[in-house]
Structure 1
Amino acid sequence: MGHSGLNQIEKKAAFSLAAVFGLRMLGLFMILPVFAIYGEQLIGFSPIWVGLAIGAYGLTQALLQIPMGILSDKFGRKPVILGGLCIFLVGSIIAAMSETIYGVVVGRALQGMGAIASAVLALAADLTREEQRPKVMATIGMFIGLSFTLAMVAGPIVAESFGLSGLFWFTALLTIAAIFMIQFMVPFSVNKAPRGDNVALPEQLSHLIRHPQLFRLNLGVFILHMALTACFVTLPKQFVQAGLALEDHWQLYLPALLGSFFLMVPFMIFAIRKQKEKSMFAAAVLLLSVSLLFFWYLPSTLMTLSFLVVLFFTAFNYLEATMPSLLSRIAPAGQKGSVMGVYSSSQFIGAFTGGLLGGAIAANFGESMIFLVMSCFGLLWFIAATGMKSLQKSKSYSFSTTITCEQQADEIAEQLVLLPGVVEATLVHTEAVAYLKVDDKVADLANIKALLKP
């Protein structure tokens, strides 16, 4: 399967695209730990509008994520990514210049319209060999996690020094840096990865939405990000009321997030080694729900809040890190792009719903009720998670093939699934490509390649 490590193009693609993704997500996340407090200075302030400002980007992201991926297939990855970053830049500037909360909502919605995630991931796939692609995707995922941690720390510091508008101007500067990186550092695409495995195809979406196992994960990521954005409608205020000044919030977020990473890693290793992934996944969902319940039930002392933040982010980070892996293993062969499209849209709709619902609950029932309602949603997710099937160990591969006849493709597909270690095989004769899910410890890749090029 080629060299064991990344080549120069793959290394450059991995770190430059991960940095672009991270810079953009940093700009989106930095508002979370500060807006509930600084938003009070804006004309038109109300809890509902605060929730909308926090979650507005999620709605436009969800609506445009799949279309932007399809456009990148037609017009090229870089032009679509650069266009999306320019829209994101305009949204950041509008938010920075707004003195009303309505202007900030418009700016945040425009930020979401720069929905480049699917195009960035597709470009990463174009620039990497199949066997090296997981390393590149893992690098991008690591930078997203790092950007969230950095945003929780940097948001309060930047807002304290430069105000809310300064935070959005800082986001605009990060976006300009990302534009330069795409133009001058990211390699131009040197090969075209198979379409269905990396970009969402509209004709596959309705079937995948109804898939029982995928539905559980899509519901899960919806609830996870709904809970996150809803909690940040009130959480910064809780810290201030407990005696922690806003400019000192990073002193809580940094150790809490680092602590949550250290706590989740042993559980991930245990789940993989002992093949307890389903059990540990359900346990993490339960931990998320219980931590939210305790936010509502226990007195809001600084010590209690600090402990619960660690519990919440241990569960959050575990789920955020493991769900894409579970998703890729459940995804039908050759449909990973469409599966990820539905998953990403569910995530962003969750973020929008969380902001809107959190603001509505705070306005009508009090801010502490946000935690109770989100805990109930978490329990629904736990019930759904316990119904998940145990997963087979497998990796997804795509191969070129010389088969261009439908009858021959059907015959070869039947032969492939009889080979040891082949879980699933799909041949798309019109594109001369084969998608396989295999247990690579058992499967003989040489035999597979020989069958695909008769």
Structure 2
Amino acid sequence: MNATERRSTFALGSIFALRMLGLFMIVPVFAIAGQQYSGATPALLGLAVGIYGLSQALLQIPFSLWGDYVSRRGLIIFGLILFALGNAIAALSTDIWQVIIGRAIAGSGAISAVVMALLADVTREEQRSKAMAIMGMSIGTSFMLAFIIGPLLTSHIGLSGLFWFSSIAGILAILLLLLVPHVSIQHKQASGHYREKFKLVLNNANLNRLHISIFMLHLIMTALFVFIPSQLVEWAGIPVNHHGWVYLPLLLISCFFAFPSIIVAEKKQQMRYIFMAAIFSITAALIVLSLFYTTPWGLILGLALFFIAFNVIEALLPSWLSKIALPSVKATAMGINASSQFLGAFFGGVLGGQLLSSSNTSMAWTILVGFAVIWLGVSWFLESPRYLSTLTVDLPAESQNLNDWSTQILQVQGVEEIAILKVQGIAYIKFDPKDLNDEARQKLSQLVNQPVAFS
């Protein structure tokens, strides 16, 4: 990656990670520590954990649709302000319903898809997979760190302190946008009406399978981490404020296995194989937990398998999505995917609360295994994505109209999209090598004033 791509990936990945860290730090501790709030019940504690997911699910699609028409940077700033405000309300709460309202407002800053779309805009196609993988790993790592930091911080600053920490993190994240260049995007597909964009995405079977995958992943993850703290206390004798020391080594071990898997998936174009293997691992993890949850080693082994697979899937999904979504509906596709993600988290929080209330622990784990098996069946029919290439060229002289120049390039057979970075003085031309014939190469060479040859 060049300097601009590295800087943008770092900034947008950090924005995403800060939000996820703030949203998820309460997950491993709230089921127990949240009992301090007036009116708290197991069901309401689960609702407080998952309610941000409902807000995200309802608003990701409107935010992403706007993101295909208006400034993505402006939407990101607006979403981060809502995130900070909601956490501040939760920090000041004394009643469980006040916490639920604060979490709902924090979740209403539904900018996940817009952040992903902006990252796709400022990276070349060959580097996009790497950037998305880094983004995905930052998301997965932030989840894992949340489960480590949450219990540790709670013992020192309490739940109120966690919410204040998240609120401040949201404000600081706005400053990171200064590192991301301004970019204008043109592509072949017509803009179309909101309804047409939405329909175009929903008619793509592979995209739908990815939406179901992210829904299932976060449903299982949220339910598991509402449910697992009580299991670690009861069967492993580990107090809540020490749970972070359980998750930390498991996170490190998972990274050791996950990173090579991601590299193989991207470099060797084995995305589908690695992805399916990760879903198998999650299913195996839940089976281990359902059979051996009464033993410390069973709980640890099950969590280790889950962490490894979770990191792999979180890293692969954004990259895969960016490869198969048409440029004109990129933000919309990511919005539906993010909506599915947070809807899964909402139902996972509610389900986790119900599992926490259940007297049949074995049956509770079996229910989660059932969800994993359904997910495995749906994902079995996923097709491998196609791979585009990128040509980096200097922008033409100022006297030449950039819009006309871009339009001419988009008319070249095989060219899918052009991203213009004015400050940097360059453009990324993204194309399908299989569709770029000799005549198209010659025409493109004339337009960019340099020889164009691809191996």
TM-score of Structure 1 vs Structure 2, range by shorter chain: 0.7 to 0.9
Instruction: State the match for 2:423 in structure 1.
Output: none
1:38 to 2:30 alignment: no
Equivalent residue number for residue 245 of structure 1: 239
SS of equivalent to 1:193: strand
SS at match of 2:217: helix
- Contact 1:401–1:452, Cα closer than 8 Å, also in 2: no
Residue 252 of structure 1: how far off its partner (Å): 0.8
CA distance, structure 2, for counterparts of residue 397 and residue 61 of structure 1: 36
Matched, 1:162 2:154: no
Give 1:190's aligned residue. 182
Aligned counterparts, 1:266-277, within 5 A: 266-271=260-265, 276-277=270-271
CA distance in 2, matches of 1:371, 1:447: 61
Q: State the percentage of identical aligned residues.
A: 38
Q: Aligned equivalents of 2:91 and 2:362: distance in 1?
A: 30
Is residue 58 of structure 2 the alignment partner of residue 66 of structure 1? Answer: no
Partner of 1:150: 145
Q: 1:258 to 1:65 in 2, by over 3 A?
A: same
Say if 1:11 and 1:284 are closer, same or farther in 2 by CA, change over 3 A: closer
* Aligned equivalents of 1:282, 1:448: Cα separation in 2: 42
Call closer, same or farther: CA 1:320–1:120 in 2, change over 3 Å.
closer
Point out where structure 2 has 5 or more consecutive residues left out of the alignment: 394-402, 419-426, 450-455
Secondary structure at 2:28 match in 1 = coil
Q: Work out whether residues 20 and 178 of structure 1, in 8 Å CA contact, stay in contact via their aligned partners in 2.
A: yes
- 1:248 is paired with a residue whose SS is helix
Higher mean displacement: 323-332 or 256-265: 323-332
Match of 1:102 in 2: 97
Matched with 1:6 is: 2
Q: CA RMSD in A?
A: 3.6
Which residue of 194, 197, 218 corresponds with 1:225?
218
Q: Aligned residue for 2:306? A: 312
Q: Does 1:211 align with 2:211?
A: no
With normalisation by structure 1, the TM-score equals 0.82
Q: How many angstroms apart in 2 are the aligned matches of 1:12 and 1:271?
A: 24
Residues 19 and 386 (structure 1), Cα distance of their counterparts in 2 relative to 1, 3 Å cut: closer
Cα shift at 1:390: 4.1
Aligned match of 2:336: 342
Within a 5 Å distance, the mapping from 1:31-430 to structure 2 comes to 31-71=26-66, 76-125=71-120, 127=122, 133-134=128-129, 136-182=131-177, 185-187=178-180, 189-194=181-186, 202-241=195-234, 242-271=236-265, 276-332=270-326, 334-363=328-357, 366-395=360-389, 416=413
* CA contact 1:260–1:313 (8 Å) conserved in 2: yes
2:51 touches 2:103 (CA, 8 Å); kept in 1?
Answer: yes
Tell me: CA distance 1:449–1:334, structure 2 relative to 1, closer, same or farther (3 Å).
farther
CA gap 1:273/1:403 in 2 versus in 1, 3 angstroms: closer
Deviates more, 1:86-95 or 1:395-404: 395-404
Contact 1:329–1:395 (CA under 8 A) maintained in structure 2? no
Amino acid at match of 2:90: A
After TM superposition, give the deviation of residue 236 of structure 1 in Å.
Answer: 0.9
Name the TM-score, length of structure 2 as normaliser. 0.82
User: Of the two structures, which has the highest relative contact order with CA contacts closer than 8 Å and spacing of 6 or more?
Assistant: 2
Structure 1 position 194, deviation (Å) = 3.4
Given that 1:334 and 1:436 are in contact with CA atoms closer than 8 Å, whether structure 2 keeps it comes out as no
> CA offsets per residue over residues 297-325 of structure 1, 9 Å max, x none?
22422222111100111111111112222
The one-letter amino acid paired with 1:206 is K
- Kindly tell me the number of residue pairs found equivalent between the two proteins: 428
Q: In structure 2, do the counterparts of structure 1 residues 275 and 136 end up closer, same or farther at CA, with 3 Å as the change threshold?
A: closer
CA distance in 1 between partners of 2:382 and 2:125 (Å): 28
Partners of 1:196 and 1:338 within 8 A in 2: no
Q: How far apart, in 1, do the equivalents of 2:362 and 2:161 lie?
A: 30
